[in-house]
Amino acid sequence: KQEVTQIPAALSVPEGENLVLNCSFTDSAIYNLQWFRQDPGKGLTSLLLIQSSQREQTSGRLNASLDKSSGRSTLYIAASQPGDSATYLCAVTRVPGNTPLVFGKGTRLSVIA
Amino acid sequence: IAGITQAPTSQILAAGRRMTLRCTQDMRHNAMYWYRQDLGLGLRLIHYSNTAGTTGKGEVPDGYSVSRANTDDFPLTLASAVPSQTSVYFCATTGTRNTGELFFGEGSRLTVL
């Protein structure tokens, strides 16, 4: 059974700092990995999707990497801003595609001005 | 652009009552999912549907039922609500490009007393 773990559960950093959020998964037979952002009381918004054949994806100040063999992904946030404060979740789908995602419990990020 | 619409946004319900949470999408996505999100437990899959006319059980299906009569609608029914079903429920879809990218509704907060 696929298990997804995110460490730390919560993180507080000063504005402007670069930071890394970690995600690990137990079964390397994944189809893709996604990173989501969730603001309090809201739904999840997809940030980045990495297919199993890819090593990384970038969007603005965000960069996500994937190492299938070690079962790890990282989300790098450059020059953090207070508006980045949210919960970040990673999720994986297993082969084949279109099967439901398994989620980590998220990292709650606070960026202090 | 509506995307995924969930209703109601919030509901308080007496135990034993029947309740249907509605989910409608206008993106013509094939796959749809229902998740519940609970503090400390993260997001857990209840039921899913890969295409109209088919449904499948997720991680926590007991006490819930779904139907998928057409592409756009995927209602979730609690036949006889219990307090342990107090949660935030999210409907999600997977895009037609078959990348597995997941899109979420804004959620329905259900309290069972």
Tens digit of each residue's pLDDT (9 = 90 or more) over A88-99: 999 998 755 456
Averaged over B67-90, what is the pLDDT? 97
Contact B42 A105 (CB under 8 A): yes
Q: Do A103 and B100 touch (CB under 8 A)?
A: no
A contacts of B33 (beta carbons < 8 Å): 100-101
Q: What is the mean pLDDT of chain B?
A: 92
3-state helix, strand, coil in chain B (%, to 5): 5, 50, 50
Average pLDDT of span B37-52 = 91
Taking only the tens place, the pLDDT of each residue in A10-64 is 999 999 999 999 999 999 888 889 999 999 988 999 999 998 899 999 999 999 9
Tell which wins on pLDDT, A79 or B41: A79
Residues of chain B whose C-beta is under 8 A from some C-beta in A? 30-31, 33, 35, 40-43, 45, 48, 50, 58, 90, 92, 94, 98-107
* Residues of B whose CB is below 8 A from A103: 35, 42-43
